[in-house]
């Protein structure tokens, strides 16, 4: 009886938490290098998560990432030099599929 109760409990918990993990997106933050509206592509230089007064958005890394923004929700249009936060899904192609793009340098919620 204890095994059946444990199995049912674990099944219920798996059923509750599985969708959260399945639909979660990854996030990248960095400086906009290029935004091509005709090709729906966005290129950023990624930042790490070492925040400080000198680097409030993190420090630049050597990683450069390209995103397909054809279906993405975009707040303020990105310009080269802006700091962006992008929620994305990995795809089989070369480009990562952006879901949402936030222009952090122009929409900074910490200033409010």
Query: pTM here?
Result: 0.73
Q: Which of 100, 40, 36, 94 is nearest to 65 (CA)?
A: 94
Distances in Å between the alpha carbon of 66 and those of 16, 34, 101, 102, 110? Answer: 34, 9, 13, 15, 27
Nearest to 27 by CA among 90, 112, 107: 90
Could you give all domains of the chain from N- to C-terminal order, each with its CATH number?
A: 26-111 (2.40.50.320)
Facing residues of 42 across strands? 35, 67
User: At residue 83, does pLDDT exceed 80?
Assistant: yes
pLDDT tens-digit readout, 33-68: 999 999 999 999 999 988 889 988 889 999 999 999
């Amino acid at each position: 009886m204890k095994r059946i109760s444990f199995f049912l409990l674990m099944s219920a918990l798996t059923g509750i938490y599985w969708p959260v993990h399945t639909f979660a997106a990854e996030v990248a933050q960095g400086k906009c290098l290029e935004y091509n509206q005709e090709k729906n592509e966005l290129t950023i230089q990624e930042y790490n998560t070492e925040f400080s007064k000198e680097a409030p958005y993190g420090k630049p890394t050597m990683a450069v990432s390209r995103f397909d923004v054809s279906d993405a929700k975009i707040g303020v249009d990105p310009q080269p030099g802006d700091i962006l936060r992008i929620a994305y899904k990995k795809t089989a192609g070369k480009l990562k599929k952006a879901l949402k793009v936030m222009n952090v340098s122009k929409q900074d919620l910490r200033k409010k």
